[in-house]
């Protein structure tokens, strides 16, 4: 059985954020032009994903969740966070939520972060520790999971 990949979670969360904004905006968080502040986390999230993907390719290892890793990537953006692609996805959604301007889309941001952590990160880190042992434990001790 194929697993649902993280970009699908992001797309679902974007759809949920937009739906929440229009169906139940609750409270206006930001008015124009302040909503444009959402461009900053949106672009930062895109950049984190692109840079992390580049580092995976540079080290000739997979970007696919749950696939066996051939290398423990600890340089570049991986010096700042153990999960730059997941952090990037959360930042992309946060940016979209801010661009929408109401508080209800922020619920989708929190739910996405929790799902990514529980569905992907926990298992991936267990696999990395199994494969790379002390090297991963050392990396884990000095670099935070999110940021």
Residue 28: strand pairing partners = 102
- Is the pTM for the entire model greater than 0.85? yes
Query: Rounded to the nearest 5°, which phi and psi values hold at 20?
Result: -60, -40
d(CA 116, CA 12): 12
pLDDT greater at residue 25 or residue 107:
107
Average pLDDT over residues 110-132: 96
Residue-level pLDDT at 1: 59
């Amino acid at each position: 059985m194929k697993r649902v990949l993280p970009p699908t979670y992001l797309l679902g969360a974007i759809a949920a954020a937009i739906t929440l904004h229009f169906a139940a905006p609750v409270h206006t968080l930001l008015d124009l032009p302040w909503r444009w502040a959402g461009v900053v986390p949106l672009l930062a999230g895109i950049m984190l994903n692109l840079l992390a993907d580049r580092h995976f390719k540079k080290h000739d290892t997979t970007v696919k969740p749950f696939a066996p890793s051939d290398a423990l990537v600890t340089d570049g953006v991986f010096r700042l966070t153990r999960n730059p692609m997941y952090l990037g996805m959360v930042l992309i959604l946060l940016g979209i939520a801010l661009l929408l301007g109401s508080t209800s889309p922020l619920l989708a941001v929190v739910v996405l972060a929790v799902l990514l952590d529980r569905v992907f990160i926990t298992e991936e880190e267990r696999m990395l520790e199994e494969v790379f042992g002390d090297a991963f434990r050392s990396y884990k001790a000095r670099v935070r999971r999110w940021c």
